[in-house]
Each structure stands twice: as C-alpha cells, then as structure tokens.
Amino acid sequence: MTELVAIDYRAPNAAQLFTESLKNTGFGVLRNHPLSQERVLNLYQSWQVFFNQSEQAKNSFSYKSIKQDGFFSRNKAESAKGSSHRDIKEYYHYYPWGQCPTELQGITQAYYQAANSLAAELLAWVEEFTPLEISHSYTQSLSSMIENCENTLLRILHYPPLLEDEEPEAIRAAAHEDINLLTILPAANEPGLQVKTLEGDWLDVPSDFGYLIVNIGDMLQEASAGYFPSTTHRVINPKNKLENKSRISMPLFLHAKPDVVLSERYTAHEYLMQRLKELGVL
Ligand SMILES: O=C(O)CCC(=O)C(=O)O
Ligand SMILES: [Fe+2]
C-alpha cells in the first residue's frame, strides 16, 4: 500500500471496492458521500466556540467516569495504550442520552443520526463482502450487533495550537487503534492524520475537505478473527509555525451492543471496559 485512493460512494461497485480497501489497508476513503460538508463545517465552527471558552465553563460539562459523556480537558485526555504521555488534545463525548450544551444539542444530534445511519450502511457493505468462511464465525450478523446500540459515540476533538510548553515527546494523538467496530471521520480542518502501512511506514491520510475516512476498529478485528485489520493511526503535531493552528475533528465510533459476543475471549462490554482502563479514563 503506498497511497489511499478515494472511492466514489455512489459508484455501482463502491461496496466491494470499499470493503477491499478496508481488508487490505484497514482504511477506506469515500468521496461523494451523504454527510453534507456544510453541516460538518457548521459543527466545526460551533464547537470551536465551545472550546474557546474558559476551562471553568467547559468543566461544567466534565465527563463522569462510568458513563463517559461530556468534556475531557487536556489534563484528563487519554494516553494511547503503551504511551506514557497524554495526547495534546481536549474533547467532548456526545451521546444522544448524554449531557450537551443547549446551543449545540440540535445540530450535534442531527449529525449524530446522519453519521450513525451512514456508518450502519457501511457496516452492511462490509458484511455483504465478508467471505463466507469468515462470516460463518460471526456470532450474529454485523448489522444486528449495532441495532439500538447506545454506546455509539461522537467525539468532537480540539487540538489547540502548540504553546511549546508541552512534554517533548507528546503528540496530538499518539499511535493507537480504535476500540469499536468501525470509525467514520470527515476530513478535519487541518492536516496531521497518518496511518501506519503494513510495511511500517507512516502515510498521510488524504485530508481534502469533503472526504470521509473510515477505519476498522479492534472489535471488528476481534469478531472477524483478524480478517479485517484494525490499523494503527496517529495525529502528528504541526510541522511549522504557519501550520500551528487549532485542529477540529469529529470521529463517530460505531459500537456493538454490550452483550454482543465478539469472540470466545470477549463480549463487547468486557472488551470496552478493559480498553478504557488501559487508556486511563475509567
Ligand atoms: O483527529 C483525527 O483525525 C483522528 C482522531 C482519532 O484517531 C481518535 O480520536 O481516535
Ligand atoms: Fe483513532
């Protein structure tokens, strides 16, 4: 794999091309997809206003450890598994049942629903093009794993401009794999996302505005006995002063219902709890 090519969501063979890309690289990039750019841009701008507030104002939405909805300040941000530094970021975990600033509730919920429906459709594409010998071992259909799941999470991330008082080894998001089944992520407003190739090189993910980046998470890797690889990715720091701006991004993490049996080793709930402990946020 040397580059990721964007697939037209509306092409007749999109489902097949997309699933092949996920299988071969852990990532798929879609263009011409139904999540409106205008809506995404509006959310970036509105959440930037939220993040520009004082710590005190933001902390009135502080997350609660078990439920995990709400604001994670920079000094509570997760450290990637195996990393000894916190990522240089702050973020908000939005669930339709969770806390949300009133002025952001309407647009955020509308986006959550649209993104959740698209993610469900993409999971159905993956299911359709899973070889039978692999899908035989799914304990239930992929589509039924997510039905009415309340754990699907919209994370709104803000990576502030660097002040140069950060720990020297800390980066915006250290190398990690996502926990869930599938992640869908509109291109952020600034570059920085990189994916690790099978050969171990870091590759820039195309960040043209309007692209949708999709990746496999650990739960789908676990449920498919490794057939679909959960790919390592990271967000690097701005390369120079000119690039040293706020960066907003908005992944939706599609989750399996807690009681879904992923494999002989884990239910979705057991797996999630183990991973949250590793990230230092439980
Ligand atoms: O900010 C990004 O582009 C990616 C964020 C990410 O990988 C994550 O939050 O899991
Ligand atoms: Fe991630």
Reported as a single tens digit per residue, the pLDDT across 196-221 is: 987 889 988 877 888 999 999 999 99
Tally of domains in the chain: 1
Ligand 1 pocket, 251 CB below 6 A? yes
Ligand 1 pocket, 25 CB below 6 A? no
Supply the pTM of this predicted model. 0.95
Ligand nearest to the CA of 176: 2
Q: Are 205 and 233 in contact (CB under 8 A)?
A: yes
For residue 47, what are the domain limits?
6-279
Which CATH number characterizes residue 110's domain? 2.60.120.330
Question: What is the spatial distance between Cα 248 and Cα 51, in angstroms, rounded to a whole number?
Answer: 10
Question: What is the spatial distance between Cα 246 and Cα 33, in angstroms, rounded to a whole number?
Answer: 26
With respect to residue 209, please indicate whether it lies within any of the assigned structural domains.
Answer: yes
pLDDT number for residue 277: 87
Residue to substitute in 233, 250, 255 for testing ligand 1 pocket (most ligand atoms within 8 angstroms of CB): 233
With respect to residue 1, please indicate whether it lies within any of the assigned structural domains.
Answer: no
What is the 233 CA–ligand 2 centroid distance (Å)?
6
pLDDT per residue as tens digits for the range 259-273: 999 999 999 999 999
Question: What is the spatial distance between Cα 48 and Cα 64, in angstroms, rounded to a whole number?
Answer: 22
Tens place of pLDDT for every residue, the chain, 282 residues? 456 789 999 999 999 999 999 998 888 999 999 999 999 999 999 999 999 999 999 999 999 877 889 999 998 878 888 887 889 999 999 999 999 999 999 999 999 999 999 999 999 999 999 999 999 989 999 999 999 999 999 999 999 999 878 887 889 999 999 999 999 999 988 899 999 987 889 988 877 888 999 999 999 999 999 999 998 999 999 988 888 999 999 999 999 999 999 999 999 999 999 998 888 777
Q: Are 70 and 57 in contact (CB under 8 A)?
A: no
Question: Mind giving me the DSSP string for 169-236?
Answer: T--SEEEE--SSSEEEEE--SS--EEEE-TTS-EEEPP--TT-EEEEE-HHHHHHTTTSS----EEEP
Ligand nearest to the CA of 188: 1
With respect to residue 224, please indicate whether it lies within any of the assigned structural domains.
Answer: yes
What is the 249 CA–ligand 1 centroid distance (Å)?
7
Q: Are 216 and 34 in contact (CB under 8 A)?
A: no
Ligand 1 pocket, 193 CB below 6 A? yes
Backbone angles phi, psi at 120, to 5 degrees: -65, -40
